[in-house]
Amino acid sequence: MNAALANLPDILLVDDDPGMIQLLSRALAGLGRLRFATNGADALRLARSETPDLLLLDAEMPDMSGFELWELLRADVRFSDLPMIFVTSHAGESMEERGLAVGAADFIVKPVRPGIVAARVRTQLRLKAAVDGLRRLAATDALTGLANRRVLVERLANEWARARRMRRPMAVLLIDVDHFKRFNDVYGHLRGDEALVAVTHALGEAACRPADLVARYGGEEFAVLLPDTNRHGAEAVAQDILERMPELAIEHSGSDIGQLSVSIGGACWDVDSGGWSRAFEPRKIEPGDATPGETPFERLLAIADEALYRAKSEGRARACFSRVDLDAP
């Protein structure tokens, strides 16, 4: 896919009539990247392969109706915010009410008028872009552009559940910029912000897999979530981060080493962790698996924080790691 098409909204057209697909395609030319399906099974496959920005859906199709397809899509969290326009030959109020009741954003009656279809699609795409923009703002740290702490906790909970379900390891790194208050005192907050952005880029280069998540944890602290990563892999990422700091060449007279550095604490949950085998048993996690009021994935953060404290106590500019023991008091 070329860059121009990649930046266009994705519109999925679903209708069992190829003639209607052609008519809609002409009406929507230039408004987005158009994909189409002539049955529910193909539409489901296309949607799951790449989530569309807007769905135009024939309400009445053989084998699987538009209503049945929509019910399947709505059951998948990936499509919870997908706007859908029903297209149908039935103009009765009961059909329109039924469509709106199941969450349709709009309702178009056949025979369609191309100008009306284009106008309504533009409206839905503008609304989708506005909502997506607000969602990005709510999930993003303003200075660094990284995911914020709320997103980190949500992803951590999901990855923890997936790790247990799939019997896969996972790791978390907490990164603290060493003596950052001194840096701000000496060089000013503007230089401090620039330094944090530089650290952000280094973290993103070290944790570069699609599944990795780099987040701003707060102040001068960052977090890196590493799914499918055991201690060996997490230590390699941490070492990569440490080696990238001198390459930034950011002077820090308030530091013993004379340049900006970071300390890293890691928590790893893998085959060497306490409770690893028992965690896969089909049972509910018991209160004794974590401290009161603390979920197991929060335990992961707490252990990473303890390891970070050790790294700072031992001289900073280094990484310390701990295994996760779910049975610890």
Q: Which of the residues are catalytic?
A: 220
Q: Rounded to the nearest 5°, which phi and psi values hold at 246?
A: -60, -30
Task: Tell me how far apart the alpha carbons of residues 262 and 319 are, in angstroms, rounded to a whole number.
Answer: 9
Q: Token pair for residue 176?
A: 């603290």
Which among 269, 262, 253, 264 has a CA at the least distance from the CA of 199? Answer: 262
Q: Is the N-terminal amide bond of 62 cis, ω within 30° of 0? A: no
Hey, CA dihedral for 50, 56, 61, 67, is it positive or negative? Answer: positive
Burial 25-46 (b: 16+ CB within 10 A, else e): eebbeebbbbbbbbbbeebbeb
Assess contact for 10 and 53: CB atoms under 8 A: yes
Distances (CA, A) of 1 to 5, 6, 8, 21, 81: 6, 6, 11, 22, 24
